[in-house]
Amino acid sequence: MATVTSTIPVERVKNSRIGEVDFKNLEFGTHLSDHMLVADYDKGQWNTPRIVPFGEIRFTPAMLSLHYGQSVFESTFRA
């Protein structure tokens, strides 16, 4: 199986928070990255991934995981 790599575009943050991290005392879930990798899926294929500043993620309300989560919640509280 061949591996294809390419250059991923990076949009850097203006002010990094890395100076706030105590690397000798890391706790899980306490520190978040300044950046995140995003790639759009459209018409059956992934578009070029890119690294952007950490922020909100947009998604459709029709996402199956939301509907699954709602059904689990509702079935838990039915009498």
The number of folded domains in the chain is: 1
Q: What is the mean pLDDT of residues 25-41?
A: 89
C-alpha closest to that of 16 among 42, 45, 54, 50: 54
What is the helix (H) or strand (E) element at residue 66, kind and residue range?
A: helix 64-76
In a domain, 1, yes or no: no
In a domain, 32, yes or no: yes
**If pLDDT is split at 50, 70 and 90, which confidence band does 5 have?**
low
Domain that holds residue 67: 18-76
Q: Both ends of the chain: CA-CA distance in Å?
A: 52
Inter-CA distances, 3 with 6, 16, Å: 10, 32
Task: Give me the pLDDT at residue 28, please.
Answer: 87
Please indicate, yes or no, if residue 56 is contained in any of the structural domains. Answer: yes
Report the percent of the chain where pLDDT is more than 70.
78
- Give the C-alpha separation, 69 to 35, whole Å: 27
Q: What region does 26 belong to: left with phi over 0, alpha with psi -120 to 50, or beta?
A: beta
Q: Do the domain assignments include residue 10?
A: no
Interval 36-72: pLDDT, tens: 999 988 999 999 999 999 999 888 888 777 777 666 6
Q: What six digits make up the tokens of 79?
A: 């009498």
